[in-house]
Amino acid sequence: MRNIFDGSHWSIQWDFQADLLNVLLYLRDALQLDDAALPHVPPLLVSIGDPVHVRLSATDVKLVTGTWHRLWKLAIPLQPKSHADATDLLSVEARLLRRVTPFDQVVAEVPLLRDLASSPAVLEVLQQARDRALEWNRTRTAERIAFGRRYAHEVNAQVKSLVERLVDARQPTSDLELQASITILDSEIEWWDHLRPGVFLCTRVVAQDRNLFFNLLQETFLSVPSLEVMTGWTEEIVVPQHKLPPSALPQSFVLADNENIVLTCERVIPCRDGFEVNLKRTAKNIGTSTTLLSDRNQKPYWEKNQSSDPYNGLRLEVRFADERKELVTDLRREDRPGDPTVVRFDRHPFDRNSLWLWIMPLPPPGACVIELSWPEQGIDSAIFEFDGILLLLQ
């Protein structure tokens, strides 16, 4: 998810990855399911390869199709979700998208899928289809992330100009608030759908057509009548920024401790398609200070002024057990594709002494090594090593 806010009058939320939606569409196409009776469903994906050889009875096909329909309705941002719906969706995302979990175990742990357990043939076919869907999704994730970052950056000014015109034109009172949620599917077919006021689903082809996309975006904002209507906005499933996801580490790990500084690895947080690493510095001569920035639009301090970056000069290399590696000599560099990919980012609230790294993809089983050097702080080499299986088991 990527959010763009401007004051209190408008907000827009982008989802360029939409992993669950993309995987569900792949499963539908690979299994050649019939979705003609279900609204708000895009046409076939183009680049899924050959369909799965389905060895199912007509009854089993009907069972799988019905389950897929229920999953799709739950996954798309169409209706306000009850607490039970939100719990089901989190269960699906946490287990359906975890490639190391056998599908029969997924079915056993997700109430929404348990009807599928009645047929061994269904479980076998779905295991094959899910593995293929996750591999397809993995190979396209880096491309989608790069597109999302680039696209949101490029259109931010245009979106701001568009929304400010709409706010000026529609603001007879001071309580007007515009919100939009944009989900971009990884399909090569031109398709879009306004699911409900303020909620827009489209394919990447549409997002790349600027004239078409901005006309549709304007319709999305215009479909939101007022703040009073927005009080019924879908209950979003969001982890609060101040409550971090659980770490795979039982405790923090000291990487270096000298007369100048203590450098620790505080957290390693596994995600579906990568993991986060949180490093923290404590300068012995001046102690630790924390800076909180309240403005989400403000650039991170390390993008503004290199001399004020407390991690200036830090170099690191990430190495996987299968010999893939990535060397980062400048943490301020532009995002770029790689295998693995290492990207610096910030979490709210900002902490000047914390360094957050996003590394993608998840490492294979075996030694995952992060080696750092920081001559300016008297650190020639500091190595943090763990077994990649630790992240896959989370």
DSSP 16-82: S--HHHHHHHHHHHHTT---TT-SS-----S---SPP-----HHHHHHHHHHHHHHHHHHSS-SPPP
> Whole-model pTM above 0.75?
no
Answer whether residue 237 shows pLDDT above 70. no
pLDDT, mean of residues 221-230: 51
Highest mean pLDDT: which of 2-16, 104-118, 176-190, 255-269? 255-269
- Per-residue confidence at 186, pLDDT binned at 50, 70, 90? confident
Q: For residue 107, which of 115, 148, 99 has the smallest C-alpha distance? A: 115
State residue 57's pLDDT score.
86
Answer whether residue 142 shows pLDDT above 60. yes
Backbone φ and ψ for 180, nearest 5 degrees, come out as -140, 140
State residue 322's pLDDT score.
93
Answer whether residue 379 shows pLDDT above 90. yes
State residue 314's pLDDT score.
92
- Per-residue confidence at 320, pLDDT binned at 50, 70, 90? very high
Encode burial over 343-378: b for 16+ CB neighbours within 10 A, e otherwise.
Answer: bbebeeebbbebbbbbbbbbbebeebbbbbbbeebe
pLDDT, mean of residues 153-178: 62
- Average pLDDT of the chain, as a whole number: 75
